[in-house]
Structure 1
Amino acid sequence: MTETTTSTGALFEQEWREWRAGWEQFLTQPFGWLAVTSTTWVEPEPGHYPGLPGLWWQEGDELHIDPQGLAMSYGGESFTTVRALNLSDAPDDVRITARDLQIGVTYRDQYLLVVYDPRALARTGFRGVPTYAPDPRWVLEGRFEAHGAAKTVSLDSVGTDSHTYASPGIVRFAHAGQEHTLVLTSSANGMATVFSDTTSGDTTYGAGRSLTIPKPDRNGTVVLDFNRALNLPCAFNDVPVCPVAPPQNRLPFAVEAGEKTPPDSPA
């Protein structure tokens, strides 16, 4: 091994460790994934739900909230009386604040409420996430192929029904001389994919892992760095709702890179 190769490998590992430190800081933020304590689908009739102050119900596309005297806030505005919000076109997981809690709201024809509590045991008792050692051999080149027209993909979910996601296209890549294809979904950071492989349910989370796909270059080339494959939120506790890798994203080989199953995973 030459000195240049050694230096390149050391830089790769250093950059990966810096990225890992930032990711685990994101995980342990007060109102992040590890702070989730409950999820609730809102019903048409006003009702109290576990872990949620006030009354909540749905009428058409509107979410109705009766704080019952408690000060809540949404979009920087505080309210203590009944408020109707139409969040059907809002981004997923918009937040309402109630005391020291945050309630994430996502619309899927029915409103889903996710309670974030900084005192959640998954957060306060966080012991890190095991990973495979970083390996440059798991940085693969792929080719992005955009769909000719707007397209969606339906993904099953852990703990609930399937949901539809916008799909910008697919990516083709080669491993061990064989071509493979991953269906992509749109994400806040551009593109992502949920995949599984032969480590799923063994050393990695059974439902699959996620991988962010960077923007392709002018030739459609993308980089798939499987060292940055991440667990889904439901790998940390059995409360969040997570997509499952679709059949076309179930890779027939072991991706021994990225995050492994968390030590206290419910799965």
Structure 2
Amino acid sequence: MTCALLATALAACGGGSTGGDVAQATAETAPADPAFVADNEAWRVQRRERLLQPHGWASLIGLHWIELPAHYVGSGATSGIRLAKGPERMGLLQQQGGKVFLTPEPDAVLTVDGTPAKGRFELLPDISGTPTLVGFDEGKGQLGLVDRNGRKALRVSHAEAATLTGLGPLDYWPADPSWRIAARFVPHPAGKTIPIMDITSQQAPQPNPGAVEFEHGGNSYRIEALEGEEGGLFLVFADRTSGHDSYAAGRYLYTDAPAADGTVFVDFNRAYNPPCVFTDYATCPLPPPENRLDLAITAGEKKYVRPST
């Protein structure tokens, strides 16, 4: 399912018109102090810089699922896995014993984790912790293996991808301190998981350390959390702006680690669009049903409009 089709299908998750909720939020908005606004502006600059990295999310040019025991890989018409950019004949890809190997063509100039490729080598997937990265086109192109619940694919990026070189502007609601909320982390028993569907319709259990509970406008809300970075939390949610002013399939948000008393700050000003907004070749996790909120979160990143090509 493409991102565009999925966005259309999930537009209903945000409910109907958000006019009343937006009016209420506007009435509650307090003037933000200059330091708060400057801090959010710095975060937005960093957000764009990450997207503009040569092999960031906006640089993806292909996601090729590996269906057969062997595929020839390259940009040429005879390749079973045909790349949008790169050598006409890159090499032979083989699946053996649950592993994936690549044998480069003699005239293909490739690197493996920065070192010139010499003979057949194994591709370690992204979930291994030490994924193999294959470079081509003098480093402008990069290829790696992704594993989604046992299903494997080649993900390909290129520094000259049109989605990267033509990246459009990112739009945000005005920075609003009322959307930086002191919430409460409610831990789950150790080892608890939650089923998470991704944009390719693959579902897998993900660690679910607890939930975040908060209040806004006199009502209580709850978001089931996934594991974040350095003890923090990763929130995947949709709200009543989804499919209207924000991306239909939801947004993402990271928090710092909860304090000892369970307090955790959830700053919706830093809610951002998933990678599949910018490319059709990402495997974005989608909000579980528990995380579709009856609340218009008028903060953070708005819907991205891809520039016409």
TM exceeds 0.5? yes
More strand by share: 1
Q: Which has the higher contact order (CA 8 A, sep 6+)?
A: 2
Q: Residue type matched to 2:47 in 1?
A: W
- Shift, 1:59, TM fit: 2.3
Unaligned 5+ runs, structure 2:
1-29, 74-80
Q: Which segment is superposed worse, 168-177 or 33-42?
A: 168-177
Q: Residue type matched to 1:152 in 2?
A: T
2:145 is matched with which residue? 105
The CA deviation string for residues 205-253 of structure 1, in whole angstroms up to 9 with x for no partner, is 1110000021111111100000000100001122211111110000101
The CA deviation string for residues 160-196 of structure 1, in whole angstroms up to 9 with x for no partner, is 3223322222111112222211111123454211100
- Shift, 1:95, TM fit: 2.8
Q: CA RMSD in A?
A: 2.3
2:210 is matched with which residue? 169
Spell out the pairing of 1:73-152 with structure 2 (5 A cutoff).
Answer: 73-87=111-125, 90-91=128-129, 95-99=133-137, 100-108=140-148, 109-152=150-193
Q: Does 1:10 align with 2:50?
A: no
Partners in 1 of 2:216 and 2:296 — Cα distance? 11
Partners in 2 of 1:79 and 1:151 — Cα distance? 42
Structure 2 CA distance for partners of 1:35 and 1:88, relative to 1, 3 Å: closer
Partners in 2 of 1:240 and 1:44 — Cα distance? 21
1:23 is matched with which residue? 47
The CA deviation string for residues 117-157 of structure 1, in whole angstroms up to 9 with x for no partner, is 11111111112211111111111111112221212222112
1:33 is matched with which residue? 57
Partners in 2 of 1:163 and 1:50 — Cα distance? 28
Q: Does 1:250 align with 2:292?
A: yes
Q: Which segment is superposed worse, 164-173 or 221-230?
A: 164-173
Structure 2 CA distance for partners of 1:185 and 1:74, relative to 1, 3 Å: farther
Partners in 1 of 2:126 and 2:250 — Cα distance? 28
Structure 2 CA distance for partners of 1:31 and 1:12, relative to 1, 3 Å: same
Unaligned 5+ runs, structure 1:
none
Q: Residue type matched to 2:95 in 1?
A: Q
Partners in 1 of 2:249 and 2:40 — Cα distance? 24
Structure 2 SS opposite 1:149:
coil
Check whether the contact 1:147–1:168 (CA below 8 A) recurs between aligned residues: yes
Partners in 2 of 1:255 and 1:87 — Cα distance? 36
Structure 2 CA distance for partners of 1:89 and 1:204, relative to 1, 3 Å: closer
Normalised by the length of structure 1, the TM-score is 0.89
Q: Residue type matched to 1:230 in 2?
A: Y
Partners in 2 of 1:153 and 1:57 — Cα distance? 33
Q: Which segment is superposed worse, 144-153 or 33-42?
A: 144-153
Structure 2 CA distance for partners of 1:110 and 1:229, relative to 1, 3 Å: same
Q: Which segment is superposed worse, 15-24 or 163-172?
A: 163-172
Check whether the contact 1:94–1:106 (CA below 8 A) recurs between aligned residues: no
Check whether the contact 1:196–1:249 (CA below 8 A) recurs between aligned residues: yes
Check whether the contact 2:228–2:255 (CA below 8 A) recurs between aligned residues: no
2:260 is matched with which residue? 218
Normalised by the length of structure 2, the TM-score is 0.78
Partners in 1 of 2:145 and 2:166 — Cα distance? 26
